Amino acid sequence: MKLEDFENISEFMYWREEARTQLEEFRKLAKAFACEPTVVGTHISKSINLPVMKLHLKEFEFLLQCNFYNIEIAVRAEEPVTLPMAKLFEGVLTPLSWEWYLTEISKCAGYSWNGWSGDQVADITVTEVEATNLSGRKYMNHNSLESKARWVKRMTDPEWYQKDWSSSTLTSDDPFGPGATLFQQDRLFAEGISDLIPYGEYGLYYPGSRFFGVSVGNYGLAKTLIRNLTDQGSK
């Protein structure tokens, strides 16, 4: 298959032009690295058949697909990649501060834990309390024992964030705590990619990984990520 094989899109498809733009952006991305775009699979988004593209650069293989919202990138390296997150994600993911994390805790406390006292959180026999919303209406606010256990550890372990508050996972090069620089990593929406490589080969990035996945919001960020890896190598 070639990218040209995906250009015949029904005029009744609402996302037709965006799909054609995607093909052109993949061509530009391959050209930026002086390589040929290779189609290795397909996926469907907005009822349109779309390509999964492979770029082979130096010691890295990149599998990419676009679902119109994010560019999903699975990276496979010949050797473990030991770059710090700060280097790999430079210009790609926004570094987040401990102060940002405390703000997220405050938001969650005012919503998920509205009405809960410290004693009620600590009491394993309590799983719901009466709370009052902003309009003054009373309701029962439920939290499982598992959620309570994660919330209690929030200052030393961010597990609550990805399990109970956000779909993103907080990761860091630093020990988790005040002063740490955090990065939000999202798991891939990997349709098409998952047909080609095992699930375990497109998880989150941690230094020492050979296989991992990164989800980015546009082609410019995809280009920066690939350049960060290919310019700096795995070290």
Q: How confident is the model at residue 161 (pLDDT cuts 50, 70, 90)?
A: very high
- Kindly tell me if the per-residue pLDDT of 235 is higher than 80: no
Name 41's bridge partners.
52
Only one residue has tokens 């290919």, namely 230
Average pLDDT, the chain: 95
What pLDDT does 201 receive?
87
Q: How many helices (H) and strands (E) does the chain have?
A: 7, 9
What pLDDT does 128 receive?
97
Residue of 101, 103, 120, 122 whose CA lies nearest to 183 = 101
Q: Are the CB atoms for 101 and 170 separated by under 8 Å? A: yes
What pLDDT does 1 receive?
85
- Kindly tell me if the per-residue pLDDT of 234 is higher than 60: no
Residue of 56, 74, 78, 50 whose CA lies nearest to 64 = 74
Percent of the chain whose pLDDT exceeds 90: 95
What pLDDT does 232 receive?
79
Only one residue has tokens 């200052």, namely 155
Q: Give the amino acid at 87.
A: K
pLDDT mean over 70-84: 96
- Which burial class, exposed, middle or buried, applies to 14 when counting CB atoms under 10 A from its CB (0-12, 13-18, 19+)? exposed
Q: How confident is the model at residue 62 (pLDDT cuts 50, 70, 90)?
A: very high
Q: How confident is the model at residue 141 (pLDDT cuts 50, 70, 90)?
A: very high
Torsion of CA 12, 15, 20, 24, to 10 degrees: 180
Interval 6-52: pLDDT, tens? 999 999 999 999 999 999 999 999 999 999 889 999 999 999 999 99
What CATH architecture is 3-94+184-232?
A: 2-Layer Sandwich (3.30)
- pLDDT-wise least confident of 16-20, 72-76, 149-153, 228-232: 228-232
pLDDT mean over 163-180: 96
What pLDDT does 36 receive?
86
Chain region(s) in the chain for CATH 3.30.1460: 3-94+184-232
The Cα–Cα gap between 104 and 109 comes to 8
Q: Are the CB atoms for 23 and 31 separated by under 8 Å? A: no
